[in-house]
Structure 1
Amino acid sequence: MELLAVLAMAFYLLAAFACVHNLLNPQNQGRRYGLLAALFALALHGLWLFDTVVMVPGQNLSMLNVASIVSLIICLLMTILVSRFNVWLLMPVVYGFAGLLLATDYLLPSYYGMYLETRPAVLLHIGLGLMSYSLLVIACLLAILLGFLDNRLKKHKLTNLPAMPPLMTIERYLFRLIFVGVVLLTLSISSGLFFLQEMFSPGKAHKAILTILAWCVYVGLLWGHHRLGWRGRKVIWTSVAGSILLTLAYFGSRFVREVLLG
């Protein structure tokens, strides 16, 4: 299984390098090789996570394992997304970060056992939460890309960048992702309120509060865009703020408990 992790890291590195090469050589027609390397990395990463997380009985949902699962979901969705329209500027960061997280998880193994096979409601809650978080992180990346391209456009420096989709296209995909992410986040919060009695217990209440605050931020963003026509920096900074709140909710206390105090 160690070989799977090493090979996945190598293919992530190869995919990131191929994406950088394609960005520096826009006339190059070898993008499919970068995507092929990414697909190998995703498959190997998934197999390694399955062996690392799924145990009999129970599951090892340590902070790094969960972060690695999120990075796998983000890479998979971004690989699908990049084939629909050009967001190649983001792909070296996405693949590189996934490889870095995988390397960290491989080198610093930790354990946080759960038994989700006996608690399907908790499995549903966690699954919805991870999917919503992944989508909203991708939305945050698109928001940052939107801000970068808008800044370059104002300075008339877009000519030396590879072909990119129109800003309106990026913005449209951004709000679609935020909408779907908010729907899944709403279902995740609702499932927690209905099925998890300990959701607001001492030691866990801060996670619920931060998650609900992030939900309010995203709902406010959608409302502001629909009713008040919010665009530009308001959208970018609000999206980043919501992503930071969710990251603190999902990983803040786990980082303190498993890394700083572990």
Structure 2
Amino acid sequence: MLVAAFGLLATVFYFMGGALLMQRLRRAAGGEPPTEKGRPLLFATWGAAIVLHAVVLYHFMFGANGFGIGVFSVVSMTAWIIAVFLFVWSLRHPIHVLGIILLPFAGVTVALEMALAGGTPTAAVSDPGLRAHMLLAMIAFSLLTIAAIQAGLLALQNYSLHNHRPGGLIRALPPLSMMDSMLFHIIGWGFIFLTAALATGLFVLDDILAQQLVHKVVFAIIAWVVFAILLFGRFRFGWRGRKAVRWTLMGFAWLVVAYVGTKVVIDMMLGVG
């Protein structure tokens, strides 16, 4: 019962955080200068949601009466990691605009986990190496999810500026050069964690075919190659703008197929825990 209350509060606080961010965005879009007013309430609400969400995650994934690591728990954990990274970065960088989308999404994942995670218990993960691999993979996916949304905003910003419509949302965003720099900063960290996840997978996955993970590994390697080419193109040829957006979204699409698509097929369609 207590966990249910925590889950409800986490969902409410996430949506409150998204609403507060939207309010700040509307003010910025209206031409109002940045202000510290409302910032303490925003981060207090956001921080409370993160803490409560962590309690819910621990209960469902690692608690005595938990249900192991299933689809809804993985999605919820990913949303939590995203919320944590955004929270930390937003303390110093103007990246919190992404929270307008991602905080309500995190709230939805908490609600779904509370409602559906207990339907089909899955095997608990006890091996420390496998846990480390899974954590690295989820961090990589979380960071590259942020990068994909950042790329979407960058594409919108590029389009609006080239069509001489720099109003509304575009006025509230950081300068184009800063948006571009933040995109590659996020991709760089995501690529590091993705590399670490793939490397640790070589040691903890004894038989990929028997574990029905071959498709996941192949798709993840394709995503890694796409992001490697993108980062090389950035540092060697100065890729930015539309080309950077296309490669970012293409790499993220392969990652979604690898992490989410494969997990859904194995857990929900094939019934493998």
TM-score by length of 2: 0.88
Q: 1:113 aligns with which of 114, 123, 127?
A: 123
Q: Secondary structure at the match of 2:261?
A: helix
User: What does residue 59 of structure 2 align with?
Assistant: 51
For 2:247 and 2:92, the matched residues in 1 are separated by: 26
Shift of 1:256: 2.6
Q: 2:233 aligns with which of 219, 224, 244?
A: 224
Counterpart contact for 2:59–2:65, Cα < 8 Å: no
Counterpart contact for 2:87–2:96, Cα < 8 Å: no
For 1:216 and 1:171, the matched residues in 2 are separated by: 21
Counterpart contact for 1:58–1:113, Cα < 8 Å: no
Q: 1:91 aligns with which of 95, 99, 108?
A: 99
Question: Does residue 260 of structure 2 align to residue 251 of structure 1?
Answer: yes
Q: CA RMSD in A?
A: 2.0
Counterpart contact for 2:125–2:131, Cα < 8 Å: no
Q: How does 1:1-262 map to 2 (within 5 A)?
A: 1-26=3-28, 27=32, 29-56=37-64, 60-110=68-118, 111-116=121-126, 119-161=127-169, 162-201=171-210, 203-260=212-269
CA gap of 1:214–1:175, structure 2 versus 1, over 3 A, is same
Q: Secondary structure at the match of 1:158?
A: coil
Counterpart contact for 1:193–1:199, Cα < 8 Å: no
Task: Give CA deviations for 1:155-184 in whole Å, capped at 9, x if unaligned.
Answer: 333243454322212212221221221122
For 2:60 and 2:19, the matched residues in 1 are separated by: 27
Shift of 1:220: 0.8
Give 5+ residue unaligned stretches, structure 2.
none
TM-score by length of 1: 0.91
CA gap of 1:195–1:256, structure 2 versus 1, over 3 A, is closer
Give 5+ residue unaligned stretches, structure 1.
none
For 2:76 and 2:133, the matched residues in 1 are separated by: 18
Counterpart contact for 2:21–2:96, Cα < 8 Å: yes
Q: Secondary structure at the match of 2:97?
A: coil
Greater Cα shift, 25-34 or 247-256: 25-34
CA gap of 1:108–1:202, structure 2 versus 1, over 3 A, is closer
The one-letter amino acid of 1:37's match is T
Shift of 1:69: 0.5
CA gap of 1:34–1:57, structure 2 versus 1, over 3 A, is closer
Q: How many residues align?
A: 260
Shift of 1:248: 1.3
Counterpart contact for 1:22–1:31, Cα < 8 Å: no
For 1:49 and 1:231, the matched residues in 2 are separated by: 37
Shift of 1:200: 4.0
Task: Give CA deviations for 1:50-74 in whole Å, capped at 9, x if unaligned.
Answer: 1111134987111110110110010
Identity across aligned pairs (percent)?
29
The one-letter amino acid of 1:229's match is G
Greater Cα shift, 182-191 or 196-205: 196-205
